[in-house]
Structure 1
């Protein structure tokens, strides 16, 4: 049977339990900033709960044009994550023209050893997301997360289809502005995996806005995880 995996990105200890209905989790800190490398405690909690953990490796917010110090921090994080027991890592680095920084990527892949490697949505700032499939092949990267070079998978579906066509040996995972309505056309296109935060905004506890902290926070919603999983199952078994 054609199988489409569901990956949920989370950044809180409580989110781990809420996401356990997914096939795997992308573990981050600070999803509001696009996702940064998770801390030691969050990694330990996810592994202790039995999740299949694929950890983000991104040392700072902002762009993906990394300095030598940034890359050194990425390599140190990968070394830690490899020994911590994660299943995979999620990486990306760009040149100033938006193309993939293959030198940095190759260093990270080498440091990852036998971990699964996902190339994240840095491909969506590339002038040619389809060409990033060949970058992944050259660097023995297992999968690519993409919205097809746009802000949402719906808008980017034509490019995602081209990436799937070119993807022999590389999994294409769709994520970015994804809704349940996108599941059917993505599966019809031959997508390998679906990626979502499955988040719900809730009011933060306490008067944190008084000290300049955002008064809402986004929490993983187990109901949304279950609904996405069910929609995928319904489509692939139809």
Structure 2
């Protein structure tokens, strides 16, 4: 059985590093420090182009999240996400990553239906909003019925490894109707145990900080930025077996 590794990336360099290391999929986003937000169309198009050059199939999945914070959205925010889903698909994305909850902590069925419809048959991942829901196990049935492809979850733990009992319960409840992908605080060392729990894929960011310079130097200096660590991606792929 092939084990899928998905890497959260913020730029073309991260996507290229992921391709070169042999990971199967990226989640394209911006502002990972906030948990991830919708990326620019230019970023999506450039990563799609890099994937096509590498002949990578079903590689580019785009996060659609309009702001940091909770996952209860008003009508304007939902309409914005629908537009962003359509734009991402027009830019060549293979799938989208979404999530919305109602004020009572259940999956927002109406919003999710709109997201799935806007995806026009492409893959839809419901992100870690599931971990903020009142009952993530029961929500698996809802998401499967709505046509969602997979669920990203840490098993409601800060680190996916600590959420393995819940992830195993999710896998059992999914029963092949919908994929379960582990993500959240994932280390390379935890990857074998996560796959042993029965998940279909493991998601991680594999980041390190680069570019910190003397703040008095040219270009403003001083503050580094997060970038995909190609070595960590390679280790993750190797750990997946």
Task: Give the TM-score of the pair, scaled to structure 2.
Answer: 0.90
- Is the contact made by 1:126 and 1:149 (CA closer than 8 Å) also made in structure 2? no
Per the TM alignment, residue 215 of structure 1 is displaced from its structure 2 partner at its CA by 2.1
1:130 partner SS: helix
Q: Which runs of 5+ in 2 are unaligned?
A: none
Q: Which moved more, 1:196-205 or 1:70-79?
A: 196-205
Aligned residues: 230
Which residue is 1:236 aligned to? Answer: none
CA distance in structure 2 between the partners assigned to 1:7 and 1:214 by the alignment: 31
Deviations 1:158-217 (A, max 9, x none): 100000001122110001111122122212221100100011123435639xxx998232
Asked whether 1:180 is paired with 2:191, we answer no
Structure 1 alignment gaps of length 5 or more:
234-238
Q: Does 2:202 correspond to 1:191?
A: no
Distance 2:146 2:222 in 1: 40
CA distance in 2 between partners of 1:130 and 1:72 (Å): 28
**Which of 123, 128, 134 is residue 130 of structure 2 equivalent to?**
123
Q: CA deviation at 1:40?
A: 1.2
Cα displacement (A) at 1:127:
1.7
- Establish whether residue 63 from structure 1 lines up as the match of residue 70 from structure 2: yes
Q: CA RMSD in A?
A: 1.9
- 1:1-238 to structure 2, matched below 5 A, reads 2-20=1-19, 21-50=22-51, 52-167=59-174, 168-205=176-213, 207=215, 215-233=223-241
1:129–1:159 contact (8 Å) kept in structure 2: no
User: What CA distance in whole angstroms lies between the structure 2 residues aligned with 1:176 and 1:74?
Assistant: 23
Is 2:181–2:202's contact at 8 Å kept on the other side of the alignment? yes
Contact 1:145 1:173 in 2 (8 A): yes
Shift of 1:88: 0.2
CA distance 1:213–1:126, change in 2 (3 Å): farther
Partner SS for 2:104: coil
**What SS does the corresponding residue of 2:148 show, helix, strand or coil?**
coil
Distance 1:213 1:173, change over 3 A: farther
- Runs of 4+ more than 4 Å apart: none
Aligned partner of residue 134 in structure 1, secondary structure: helix
